[in-house]
Amino acid sequence: MILNIIKVFTPSAVAFFIGIGFAPIIINYLYKHKMWKKSTGKKAIGGGDTPIFDELHKGKEVGTPKMGGIVVWGSVILTTLFFLILPYIFNFEITSKLNFFSRNQTWLPLFTLLVGALIGLIDDYFEVKGKKDYLAGGLSLKKRLLVVFVVSLIGAWWFYSKLEMTSIAIPLVGDLNIGFLFLPFFIIVMLGIYSGGVIDGIDGLSGGVFSSIFAAYGILAFAQNQIDLATFCFVIVGGLLAFLWFNIPPARFYMSETGSMALTMTLAVVAFLTKEVLLLPIIAFPLIITTLSVIIQVLSKKIRGKKVFLVAPLHHHFEAKGWPGHKVAMRYWVISMVFAFVGVIIALLK
């Protein structure tokens, strides 16, 4: 037990310090090459203008680089490589124990993280360079959704064929075998969680929210004796905290698509590996409610011709109501931690 606890938290701390160490290098590069949007404002999903958002964030997006998510996934990759190589340099039992790179627990989430990071990075690059593919720049929504769909197909096949997983856990009840329906269910969940990436919109918001979510799933993985997966989750938390160090107001950079795409897609995989995917609406409540606020807003405007929120997603609605950005972010942190606690308790009660 003690060794497992050391295994989980040591790489997490290392990931934090690695992130803190190389973040200034990333920041200097991003500022030197002016990797930010060249004009303020954005377009709504339906293609319309967003005057309230534009007024709230006037001047904020110009001059602050995107691609801050590099710090998150970069920390995870470097930490994984460090503990993978360490036993070959220092051949001790403890160094071998600290290696958390394993086929059945961490290969797939790490692969998903890398793919999401790369595609997101391409999208961010196109946006800051003004490649007008859609809205304010970057890859079109259809192209990004296609990527997520393809990755979800691979993930669904891997779980179903390689890991022979066909069941999900029903909270407070037990496992339910859904057979081949596992495949479309996996795809739907990954697409749904990816949409929650729009939570990256206020300084400090996304880092705090994702930290609570991955910490919760790390605890669940540890309780299931999936120690490598638990370590992987907490390594992500370490990288997120390093990112958050530089993202709290005033943000030195934004997470943007290279971070949010990597994290949301990886979260879906982690949830399935723990079989606690049905707890996502609770543990990842801020992501779910953010997505729902956008859906409700779009449907209301099309059906009723009226808006439900002053502006969507929901966190921008609170800004429009007069809440300063740091208050919105910190209250989201609180809500994230509370719902993470609740989700873990429900999972452990069965």
CA–CA dist 40, 318 (Å, integer):
20
Secondary element (H or E) of residue 167: strand 167-170
CA–CA dist 180, 96 (Å, integer):
37
pTM: 0.92
Size (the chain), residues: 350
Q: Is the pLDDT of residue 315 over 50?
A: yes
- pLDDT, tens digit (0-9, with 9 covering 90-100), for 188-226: 999 999 988 888 888 999 999 999 999 999 999 999 999
136 versus 56: which is more confidently predicted? 56
CA–CA dist 136, 43 (Å, integer):
7
Q: Please name the residue that has the structure tokens 């490649």.
A: 131
Please name which of 104, 2, 79 lies closest in space to residue 240, comparing C-alpha atoms: 79
pLDDT at 175: 86
CA–CA dist 286, 45 (Å, integer):
20
- pLDDT, tens digit (0-9, with 9 covering 90-100), for 50-74: 556 555 555 566 788 999 999 999 9
Among 47-56, 116-125, 299-308, the range with the most confident prediction by mean pLDDT is 116-125
- pLDDT, tens digit (0-9, with 9 covering 90-100), for 83-109: 999 999 888 878 888 999 998 899 999
Which value, in Å, is the radius of gyration of the alpha carbons in the chain?
20
Of the chain, the percentage scoring pLDDT greater than 70 comes to 91
- pLDDT, tens digit (0-9, with 9 covering 90-100), for 259-270: 999 999 999 999
Average pLDDT, the chain: 89
pLDDT at 91: 82
**Mean pLDDT (whole number) for 320-329:** 91
pLDDT at 305: 83
CA–CA dist 97, 231 (Å, integer):
11
Q: Please name the residue that has the structure tokens 């729902």.
A: 292
CA–CA dist 176, 277 (Å, integer):
12
Q: Please name the residue that has the structure tokens 């497992």.
A: 4
**Mean pLDDT (whole number) for 269-289:** 95
CA–CA dist 24, 235 (Å, integer):
20
**Mean pLDDT (whole number) for 293-303:** 90
pLDDT at 51: 58
CA–CA dist 45, 33 (Å, integer):
29
Secondary element (H or E) of residue 174: strand 174-177
- Beta bridge pairs of residue 43: 49
Q: Please name the residue that has the structure tokens 């006037």.
A: 58
* In the chain, domain spans: 2-33+55-349
Query: 327: which 2 tokens?
Result: 């208050």
CA–CA dist 247, 207 (Å, integer):
8
| Cβ pair 310, 52 in contact under 8 A | yes
The alpha carbon dihedral of 187, 190, 194, 195 has a sign of positive
Q: 134 falls in which pLDDT band (50, 70, 90)?
A: very low
Asked if the peptide bond before residue 171 counts as cis, ω within 30 degrees of 0, the response is: no
Among 33-42, 87-96, 278-287, the range with the most confident prediction by mean pLDDT is 278-287
pLDDT at 135: 44
**Mean pLDDT (whole number) for 3-31:** 95
